[in-house]
Structure 1
Amino acid sequence: MTIYLARHGEAVSLEKNPERPLSQEGKAEVEKMAHLLETMGLKVNKIMHSGKKRAEETARIFSENLCDGKTFVSKRLNPNDSVEEFFKKLKNEDKVMYVGHLPFMERLASFILTGDEKKVLIKIKTSGVLCLVESQGRWCIKWLIAPDL
Structure 2
Amino acid sequence: MRLYLVQHGEAVPETQDPSRPLTEKGRREAESTARRAAELGVKASKILHSGKLRAKQTAEAMAEALKPSGGVERADGLDPLADPAIWAERLKEAGEDLMLVGHLPHLSKL
Tell whether the structures are fold-level matches, with TM greater than 0.5: yes
Higher RCO structure (Cα 8 Å, ≥6 apart):
2
TM-score (norm. length: structure 2) = 0.92
Does the alignment pair 1:89 with 2:85? no
Native 8 Å contact 1:3 1:93 kept in 2: no
Structure 1 Cα separation of the partners of residues 25 and 3 of structure 2: 26
The number of residue pairs the alignment matches comes to: 108
Following TM superposition, by how much is the alpha carbon of 1:58 offset from its aligned partner in structure 2, in angstroms? 0.2
2:73 aligned partner: 72
- Aligned equivalent of 2:12: 12
Query: Retained in 1: the 8 A contact 2:14–2:20?
Result: yes
Q: Which runs of 5+ in 2 are unaligned?
A: none
- After the TM superposition, which parts of structure 1 deviate over 2 Å for at least 4 consecutive aligned residues? none
Question: What SS is found at the alignment partner of 2:44?
Answer: coil
Map Cα deviations across residues 8-51 of structure 1 (whole Å, 9 max, x no partner).
00100001110000000000011111111111122210000002
2:107 matches 1:105 = yes
Q: Aligned Cα RMSD in Å?
A: 1.3
Q: More displaced, 15-24 or 65-74?
A: 65-74
Larger fraction in helix: 2
- Describe how 1:50-61 pairs up with structure 2 within 5 A: 50-61=50-61
1:118-144, Cα deviation, whole Å (9 max, x unpaired): xxxxxxxxxxxxxxxxxxxxxxxxxxx
Distance 2:23 2:3 in 1: 26
* C-alpha contact 1:48 1:74 (8 A) present in aligned 2: yes
Higher strand share: 1
CA contact (8 A) 1:60 1:71 kept: yes
Residue 68 of structure 1, CA deviation: 4.2
Larger Rg belongs to: 1
Quick one: percent identity of the two aligned structures? 37
Which secondary structure does the structure 2 equivalent of 1:89 belong to? helix
Aligned to 1:132: none
